[in-house]
Structure 1
Amino acid sequence: MNLTKRRARLAAATVAAITAVGGLAACGNDDDNTSTDGGKPAKLVVDTFGEMGYDELVKQYEQQTGIKVELRKTAQLGEYRPKLVRYLATGKGAADVTALEEGILNEFKANPRNWVDLNPLIDSGITDDYLPWKWELGKAPDGRLIGLPTDVGSLAVCYRKDLFEQAGLPTERDQVAALWPDWNGYHEAGKKYKQATGKAFVDSITAVSNGVLFQQGSDLFYDKENNIIADSSPAVKNAWETATSMVDISAKASTWSAEWNGGFKQGTFATTFCPSWMLGIVQDNSGAENKGKWDVAAVPGGGGNWGGSWLAVPEQSKHQKEAAKLAEFLTNATSQVEAFKAKGPLPTNLEALKNEEFLSYTNEYFSNAPTGKIFGESVAKIEPVHLGPKHQAVKENAYEPALRAFENGQADKNKAWEQFTKDAATQGAF
């Protein structure tokens, strides 16, 4: 069967599945669009992944409203998405407020019926309060607003000052950034580090690839018409070539793995690529004993955006109006500044980005790095990328496994690339 016919059949099957999911979700809550008692609910549930900095904020909301908020956290996005898909398919189990990462959001836009249109439930005056492109990405093709902007993943490099010092490399963040004005400079710094210490410089080549991939501001796995272009995308090819060239300085510890989690404390690698939301994860994995050993410097190439999320309200929520107000509270300017200070998610609210408390904020754990200034200045350099409806599936089930196969010696570079393009055609069909 040729690729066009195969994609057509897969597309038809997927549309049928999506329709079924939408139907189940709708059936589960036909009569549950407001609080069951006609008043405010006793409790609202919020689902998040990673660290979004909401722990103290939900306590504030409880005090202000008298509504209990249950915060359900899932550490890894790869574990979060299957649970969410199951909730939607069965029509039960979803939180009242649900965090949607950019890849997940694009996939779920195909069936916006699973999500409440927030437009009539929020203050109409907040429409212009956010980065314009971020706000627009929260809309479904039919114009429904299904997500309120939380953060963007402005890029930087987290590095271990103590390990740099042992290798005879500069440790001050401006001098460190000067080592790598581009990716070749980063590779050269890694070679010097490895030669001096015998240890890996970066956690994995998939981390390198993410750094390159999301700073190019162009089509990735799909073109603008949502055709798969995995085998011809200049952005993907550039990220692949850059990442695979650095296998010699890699610890081969894939992001979220047990080896990666433990590597922060053990000093298995000296650098990792840090979108702003990653700061809290690096801190949690490294522990109190490594406070002051980490610092933050500019990323090679100077900018980029890896990740970012929105808050949505599933149709199956019994408390849609109150859930929308909670989402609005968690994404307002004050809350976004507080979330950033707590765990690092970079604000998308324009008032928050101009807030002096944000701009002057220094992160004590990361050697008092001026993270507000570092990440805040990079926002203007962010160029939105086109992800496509199955971006996450292509990235996680085709692209990254191929990179790991090469990194771990299971396939040479050409064979790994061939496997990626083959798997991408299947994973990316819709």
Structure 2
Amino acid sequence: MNVSRRSFLLTSGLLGLAGTGALTACGSSGSAGGGGGDGEELAFWIWSGAISEKVVDDVAASVASTVEITPSIIGGDFKQRLTTTLSSGQSVPDITGVKGEDMPSFLAQAEAFLDLNDLGAEDIASSFAAAKYAAATTADGKQIGLPIDLGPTATYYREDQWAQAGLPTDPAAAGQLVATWDGWFQAAKTVKAATGAASIRNSTDVFAVALAQQPETFVTKAGAWAGDGDAVRGAWDLAVRSHTDGVSAALFDATGYNQALAAGTVGGHVGPAWFGLDIASGAPDTSGKWRVTGTPAGPANIGGSFLALTTACRNPQAAFDYIKTLLTPENAAISFTDASVFPATTAAYSLPALTAGQDFYGGQATIDVFGPAAEQLPTVYDDPNNAAIAAPYYTELSNVEGGKDPAAAWTDAVAAAKQVADRAGVQ
């Protein structure tokens, strides 16, 4: 099985989740406007794998006597489909998913969505990981989405390789060793010397995590250019170090990465909870050998998504009650089991579906790592232009691993990114 598309997009700095299928129902056929009323039919747009289909259908069935909810799996570019529909005001869904990487763009179009605070969101805000909830809050306090899931990060490592290298293999002790990026690099070099194995797929994985630990990156909250600032340069230097220290495998293709995992020539990773599925699917015969522990320099988030109500919603209170029920701890746990969606609903972390030991990790209950990380995530400002601005840095890091001088690559990355920022009006 190939590495998932979201892993490919992470490597590209453009995280996304693929959706398949076709539109089966539409919402309002008029302009998005009032958002009032007690309509008996609601259209729900989502992409494949965003949430458990069983939960979606079961909760819809439970309210069928009051309102008919018709879910539609939207294929292709979900953001583009939703943006086009909102702009036209035709066939606008009442309820929609919003991918995490798209939320900054939709925050800039907040007038197209209902403020969920008017429907009771403030009463359940504490149910969710605080940083992820805040990612759907506008500057003036409007809440346009409830978080479905998130991607708290961790350090993945092969227990057998760490033992061979003479390093502590217990997750708690390993966590102390890699509590800083310097500690992680030292451990990775020790493993490389003892086993020949790399500890990261490629340098862009380090870059992504280090960026996600920063409160601001390419554009500040004030709207200023910061692509050559300390936050971005610090993440870049760590990424380049993974190459110069020889602990990156410099693999950018799914097939090569899976082969390296299976062969044991890659025995580690630093990345989000969902990435463990890619490791498990790419190298199933390594089951039992992997462990996870904390992220160097503290937790970060990569990925996740939201549920929102458009201003065309024909029955806002019924729609809000529906999405709220989709995200209860019990239903979030079902989505974790059925769709491998790591819940943003923190009370789910104490339920058996998440607390059980996992065979792939030698019986380790990985929630002991990912749960605290999710609850301690930093609040990060993600500007709508960040994804486009970031792309040249990812390109140049791959060039560095192909032999380009890091200093020249940095200069070229900044120059290209500044052009993107200038075209977007970032000063």
Q: CA deviation at 1:152?
A: 3.5
- Encode CA deviations 1:15-57: one digit per residue, 9 max, x unaligned: xxxxxxxxxxx9964289889995235x744226xx5452442
Q: CA deviation at 1:80?
A: 5.1
Residue from 404, 413, 416 that aligns with 2:398:
404
Structure 1 equivalent of residue 185 of structure 2: 187
Distance in 2 between residues matched to 1:387 and 1:124, nearest whole Å: 22
More displaced, 118-127 or 265-274? 118-127
- What SS does structure 2 have at the residue aligned with 1:212? helix
Distance in 2 between residues matched to 1:27 and 1:183, nearest whole Å: 51
The 5 A counterparts of 1:274-353 are 274-287=271-284, 289-315=285-311, 323-342=319-338, 345-352=341-348
Residue from 386, 402, 413 that aligns with 2:381:
386
Distance in 2 between residues matched to 1:312 and 1:167, nearest whole Å: 49
5+ unaligned residues in a row in structure 1: which ranges?
1-25
Q: CA deviation at 1:381?
A: 3.2
Does structure 2 conserve the Cα–Cα contact (< 8 Å) formed by 1:276 and 1:344? no
More displaced, 106-115 or 172-181? 172-181
Seen in structure 2, the aligned counterparts of structure 1 residues 356 and 93 have a Cα distance that, compared at 3 Å, is same
Structure 2 equivalent of residue 40 of structure 1: 41
Structure 2 equivalent of residue 238 of structure 1: 234
Seen in structure 2, the aligned counterparts of structure 1 residues 163 and 320 have a Cα distance that, compared at 3 Å, is farther
Distance in 2 between residues matched to 1:36 and 1:101, nearest whole Å: 27
- What SS does structure 1 have at the residue aligned with 2:98? strand
The 5 A counterparts of 1:115-264 are 115-121=113-119, 125-141=123-139, 143-164=141-162, 169-216=167-214, 218-232=215-229, 234-247=230-243, 248-254=246-252, 257-260=254-257, 263-264=260-261
Seen in structure 2, the aligned counterparts of structure 1 residues 173 and 321 have a Cα distance that, compared at 3 Å, is same
Structure 2 equivalent of residue 11 of structure 1: none
Give 1:416's aligned amino acid: A
Q: CA deviation at 1:311?
A: 1.7
- What SS does structure 1 have at the residue aligned with 2:361? coil
Give 1:418's aligned amino acid: T
The 5 A counterparts of 1:1-20 are none
Structure 1 equivalent of residue 11 of structure 2: none
Give 2:146's aligned amino acid: L
Residue from 355, 367, 392 that aligns with 1:372:
367
TM-score w.r.t. the length of structure 2 is 0.76
Structure 1 equivalent of residue 415 of structure 2: 422
More displaced, 93-102 or 270-279? 93-102
Structure 1 equivalent of residue 102 of structure 2: 104
Does structure 1 conserve the Cα–Cα contact (< 8 Å) formed by 2:354 and 2:367? yes
5+ unaligned residues in a row in structure 2: which ranges?
1-26
Does structure 2 conserve the Cα–Cα contact (< 8 Å) formed by 1:33 and 1:320? no
The 5 A counterparts of 1:63-82 are 63-66=61-64, 70=71, 72=73, 81-82=79-80
Distance in 2 between residues matched to 1:163 and 1:342, nearest whole Å: 31
Does structure 2 conserve the Cα–Cα contact (< 8 Å) formed by 1:47 and 1:97? no
CA RMSD, aligned part only?
3.8
Q: CA deviation at 1:356?
A: 5.2
